[in-house]
Structure 1
Amino acid sequence: MALTATDIGLPSTCSVPAQRGRLTKEAIRNALHPTGKAAKQLAEAIASVQIIATVSPDSVAIPASVTTKQINVLEVGIKEGAAPEEFLRSFSAHLGEQSKHVSKILYVLHRDDGWMLAAYRNANVHAGIATGVMLFGPLSWDTPYLHLRGEHLDDVWGSLCAQTALDDDDPHHIDERIAKQMHIRMLEGSLRKLQKAHNRTTQIATRNRLWEQMAAIRKELSALQGVQQ
């Protein structure tokens, strides 16, 4: 399904004509020179890549900022399986290098069972993001509907990242909130592993030690999620 800017809630002034926006695999391969898993995903997992919208001061009444001067929205058709994270990361890194990191990409991923938003967020060590991270939204049957919120394009980019990963459109403290979410997911993963180990063992001392570790994680999770014990 070929989307337009207005299909996903963006102004028609952001639209990129279908013929001009189509990116062939050959053109992508020649520009990116992908290797390893990124090359494999481009060859096997990607069905199509189309620029459907460009958000810039020329297309919307929102000024550029020092770190964000343009946001490209790409529809990526996926043949099957998981989102092609390495390819998306490589594509975003390439555009970042070419634009001196002032052009950003929001991906609208589409496969037979639904839609998903994705975005690459640069590292922000002070906020707790040590390296760049791919953000993925939940899979949905509904086409994404975006909101352009912010006084300048860096705010808009933060808001789009929030709409992707945090289920809101608040651009404020976006990296801190993403870092918190990442930490919560890490703790939840550790808790599941400890629970499995606790269920398997019959040794009382080991069960007690694992229980104490789980209790500590649950306490930290409750504090992070703002839930009272």
Structure 2
Amino acid sequence: MTTSLIITTYNWKEALEVVLKSVLTQTELPEEVIIADDGSREDTAELIKQYQATFPVPLKHSWQEDLGFRAAESRNRAMAMATGDYLIIIDGDMVLHPDFVKDHKRAAEPDTFMHGKRVLLQPELTKQILKTKQYHITPFTSGIINRLNTLSIPFLSNLLSKKQPNIRSIRSCNMAFWRKDVLRINGFNNDFVGWGREDSEFAERLLNAGVVRKNLVLGGVGYHLYHEEKPRTSLPANDKILADAIAQKATCCQYGIDKFLR
């Protein structure tokens, strides 16, 4: 099984650099890392070029024009570029535990997608990490929320990671799935513009296509840097796309990853 790690980003190179540093500490590296860039300025491209020079695996940069929040299309571009059998996606503000990739690879199962948890970091701790570009987080670290989510315990993870038959509380900041399943449902829906629901609709179509959701606990640990919430003005339109997918029991979208496949 080969793996591709896909990192979404938009104009926050300071966070992206800490995330890339956390990739370098992985006990098991993915076969490649792809930055899914939703139209960042040139300074993000310069940062990626600096890391490409010495990165131990291919570090690819997928970029699209800045036409507003288009995370769905940005991820599709990156996933179309991916060569791995198994795709792990994270946000560009998710700093990784050293066993993050190893845990996801261990947990992978056929016809299943994994939904990982996150440790929320409060503003002061986030500021410190961005300044020093260093971190060491334990369940006893001050400035964190969801302390149980800091633990990586493979034996217990195997026992306690459970299937869930719905999209409740789904988030794409820490997910993994087989590339063949992504192609089968045509990836994320490019109709989503603005924050919200593109991950829920993607997961709904996976479930409708017979791909099982499993929640990864005590493993696949990511530390979510604090930031202000995105504007939610697009939610009514995005909620409608999600509602239609649920009502129609959709397994595929019309405008998806196929637009970027060669």
Higher alpha-carbon Rg? 1
TM-score (norm 1): 0.28
**Bigger fraction of residues in helix:** 1
TM-score (norm 2): 0.25
